[in-house]
Structure 1
C-alpha cells in the first residue's frame, strides 16, 4: 500500500487549496502595501509595518486554541469559521480609507487561524504511512502560494488598487469555503498528540533548548521577511522601476532561488550536512542584508540581494519543519508544531512592528541593518545546535489491551533495536514511538503487538 487512496488524494488536493488560497491572500499585501497604501489616511512607515504584520499577532494568539476547538466541535466547522473571519477582514480592509481600518481588517484576517484544524483533518483522513506525503503536498502549496502572491499582488494592485487586492482575497476565502465543503468528512481521528497541541506539554517544550532554537529561528525568519517588504518596494520605486512591473523582478528571482535551493536540500540530506547547510543559508541571508544596506541603489544590486535572500529563506522554510519533526519527543509532535506555527506568525507581527518603528526613526536603510543583526544573532544560536539521526514516528492502538498489558508491551517495545523513544499515554490507550530510520524492524513490532 504505497499509493494514496482516492480519499487521501481528494483530501490532499482540497486541503492544499484551502491552505494555499488563504496564505496567498495574506502574502499578497507584502509587495504592494508600502506603495499603494500611500493614499490612506494615517499612512506612515510604522503603520506600513503594523498593517502588514497585524495578521501575525492574531494568528500567533489563536493558532493553538483554534486547533483545540476543532477537536471539540469538528474540523470543518472551525475551518469554515476561520475562512468566514478571513473574508470579513478582507472586506473591512477593501472598504477602508485609513491605514487604521486596514490594520483592523488584517487583525480579523489573522483571527481565522485554521492551520491546526487543516493539518489535523489531513491527518484524520490519511493512513499513518501515507501521512507524510499528504503533509508534504500541503507544505509545497504554501511555497507556491508565496511565489504566486509576489506576481498577483503587484498585477492586481496596478490595475485595481489596494482595495482590489483585498476584494480578491475575499473571493479566495469564498473559494476555500467551497473547497472545505468538498473535503471528505473524517470517520476517525488521528492520534491527537501527533496532530494538535496538548496544553500540559506546552511548558515542557518551551524549555527544550534544541526546539527553542528552531522556534526562535522561524520567528526571526518571518521577522526578516516582513521587515524586508517595508523597505524594498519603496526602494524599487525610487529607482523609477514602476510598481506595476515589480512582479517582473520577483518572478525570475523566486524561480532561480528555487533552482538553487533544491540541490542544497538534496546534498545536505545525502551527505548528512544539515547543520552546515543551515548555517550556509543564514550566511546567504546575512549577505543579502549587507548588500541591501551597503551596495549602491541600483536594480542589479537589489536583484542579487533578493536572490541571496530568497535562496536562504526558501531553504530554511523547507528545512525547519523537518528538523522540528526529528527533534520533537514521541507523542509531542502536535504540541511542537503548534508552538512552531505560533512563533512563525508572531515573527511576522514583530517584523512589521519593529521594522516600521526602525524605518520611522532611522530611515529605510536601517531596516536592512536590523535584518543583518537578527541574522547574526541567529548564527550565534546555531553554535549549540545538535541534530539526531533521521527518525520516523509511529503510534500503536492499545484499546484492546489492559493497563498492565500495555505497560508490559511498552517495556518490550523500548528494547527493540532502533527505538529512540516510546511513550505510553493511558488516557488515549495509545503508544507513541520515535524510531531510527533504516534500523527499526517493523516486523518485530508487528510480532510483539
Structure 2
C-alpha cells in the first residue's frame, strides 16, 4: 500500500474501533445491570440490547446512497454527531424506555456503509481486499476490547459510564476523520445512475454475503442475552470479574483468526473458510446448554469467537470486491442494513425466548438459525458457481 492508502486505512480502522467499541461494551453487561432501570423485564432488556440495530437497519441504505451523492465525510460527521447524542440520552436515563430510546438514537447514526465505501474509494483494486479485511479485523479488535472494558466500566459506574465514554469516542471519531483520513478524488467514483442498485440486487452472491452478516449478528446478540448470567451460574464468576474470562479468550481467538484469514485470502479459499467458520458458530449455542459446564463452556465460547471474528473480516472484503464502484455506498448500505437488522432481531428474539424458556431455549433457537443459514448459503453458493460457469 502507498502512504495515502495506509493513512486512510489507519484512520478508518480506528474509527471502526471507536464506534463499535461503544456498541459492543453493552453486550456483556446489559442483562446484568439493566435490572436497575425502572420497568425492566427480560424482553425489554433484549429489546434495548438490539434496539440500535433497528434504526441502523432503516437508515443504512438511505445514508449509503446519500454518501454516493453528497460525499462520504459529510454523512460520517452527521452520523457520529447523532450517535453521540443518543449515547448522552442513554447515559442520563433511569428508565428502560429511556434506555431503549437512547439506543435507537445511537443507531440512527448509521455510518457503516459510508465508512466502508470511503475505504474502498481510497484504496486501489489490488489492495481493497486487504483494506476490507483490516477493517473487518478492527471490528474484532473492538469486540475484544469491549468485552474486557464493558464489565470494568459497568462495575465502576454502571451502564451510564459506558454511554458517557461512548459519546466521547464518537466526538473523537469526528476529529479523527477530519484530520487524518484523506479526501477521495472526484474521479474515484461516478455519480450513481438509474438502475445501478437494481442490478446490484440481482446478484446472487451479494445476497449470500448480506444474509451471512444478518445471521452472524443475530446470533451474537441473541447469545449475549443469557450468556452473562450463564457465566455467573456455571462458572461462579461475579459480573465485575467477567473481563478476566473475556480478555484472554477473545485475545486468543483473535490471534488464531488472523493466520486463518491470511491463508484463506492467499490460497483463494475464502468460501471454504466461511463454511468452516459457520460450523464453528455452532459452539456458541452449545455453550449455553445446561449440560455443558466448566472448561467446556469456555472452550465452546473460544471456538465461537474465532469463527465470529473470521467472518467479520471476510464478509465485507468479499462484498466490496464484487460491488461496482458507482454504487459501492449502496452495496455497503445493504450489507450494514442486514447486519444491524440481525442485531435487532437477535436481541429482541433472544430476550423474548429467554424470558419464556431460559438459556436452553435460546441455545436451541440459535442452532435452528444456523441450520437456516447453512441452507441459504449452500443454495446461494450453488447459484454463484452456476453463474460463474455460464
SS in 1 for 2:237: coil
Judging by fraction of residues, say which structure has more helix: 2
Deviations 1:275-309 (A, max 9, x none): 4433222222224313422524x331321121121
What is the alpha-carbon distance in structure 1 between the residues aligned to residue 328 and residue 164 of structure 2? Answer: 37
User: Is 2:96 the partner of 1:111?
Assistant: no
Separation in structure 1 between the aligned mates of residue 257 and residue 128 of structure 2, nearest angstrom: 24
Residue from 114, 117, 136 that aligns with 1:120: 117
Equivalent residue for 2:183, pick from 173, 181, 186: 186
Superposition RMSD on alpha carbons, in Å?
2.8
More strand by share: 1
> Residue 286 of structure 1 is aligned with which of 279, 282, 288?
282
Asked if the contact 2:68–2:326 (Cα under 8 Å) also holds between the matched residues in 1, the reply is: no
Q: Is the 8 A contact 2:64 2:332 kept in 1?
A: no
In structure 1, stretches of 5+ residues that fail to align are 390-418, 422-449
Please give the TM-score of this superposition, normalised by the length of structure 1: 0.78
Is 1:201 aligned to residue 196 of structure 2? Answer: yes
Deviation at 1:60, TM superposition (A): 1.3
Aligned to 1:19: 16
CA displacement, residues 178-234 of structure 1 (integer Å, 9 cap, x when unaligned)? 2133135526235437xx987733344434333222221210110000001101001
Look at both structures and tell me which one has the larger radius of gyration over its CA atoms. Answer: 1
| Shift, 1:362, TM fit | 1.7
Query: Given the alignment of the two structures, is residue 49 of structure 1 paired with residue 41 of structure 2, yes or no?
Result: no
> In the TM superposition, what whole-angstrom CA distance separates every residue of 1:107-134 from its partner, at most 9, and x where no partner exists?
1111111123323333444455555554
Give the match for residue 75 of structure 2.
78
Q: Compared with structure 1, are the counterparts of its residues 339 and 236 closer, same or farther at alpha carbon in structure 2 (3 Å cutoff)? A: same
Q: Residues 380-409 of structure 1: CA distance to partner in whole angstroms, max 9, x if unpaired?
A: 2233314979xxxxxxxxxxxxxxxxxxxx
1:91 and 2:93 matched: no
Q: Which residue of 2 aligns with 1:259?
A: 255
2:302 aligned partner: 307
Structure 2 contact 212–377 (Cα < 8 Å) conserved: no
Q: 1:115 to 1:70 in 2, by over 3 A?
A: same
The match for 2:32 is: 35
Partner of 1:4: 2
Distance across 2 between alignment mates of 1:216 and 1:197: 24
**Deviation (angstroms), 1:47:** 1.3
Deviations along 1:404-436, one digit per CA (max 9) or x if unpaired, are xxxxxxxxxxxxxxx999xxxxxxxxxxxxxxx
2:239 alignment partner in structure 1: 243
Aligned residues: 386
Pair 1:129–1:271, CA change in 2 (3 A): closer
**For the Cα contact (< 8 Å) 1:66–1:117, is it kept in 2?**
yes
Name the CA shift for 1:259/1:126 in 2 (closer, same or farther; >3 Å). Answer: closer
Instruction: Supply the distance in 1 between the matched residues of 2:237 and 2:192 (Cα, whole angstroms).
Output: 46
Output the CA distance in 1 between the equivalents of 2:378 and 2:250.
Answer: 29
2: CA distance between counterparts of 1:142 and 1:201? 29
Cα distance in 1 for residues equivalent to 2:12 and 2:255: 26
Offset of residue 351 of structure 1: 0.4
Q: Distance in 1 between matches of 2:176 and 2:272?
A: 41
Give the Å deviation of 1:378.
1.4
Describe the shift of the 1:365–1:163 C-alpha distance in structure 2 as closer, same or farther (beyond 3 A).
Answer: same
* Alpha-carbon offset, residue 85 of structure 1: 0.7
- What's the CA shift for 1:84? 1.1
* Residue of structure 1 equivalent to 2:226: 231
Cα deviation per residue 1:24-64 (whole Å; 9 max; x = unaligned)? 11111001101011110121111121111111111111112
State the TM-score, normalizing by the size of structure 2: 0.89
SS at match of 2:224: helix
The answer on whether the counterparts of 1:197 and 1:338 sit within 8 Å (CA) in structure 2 is: no
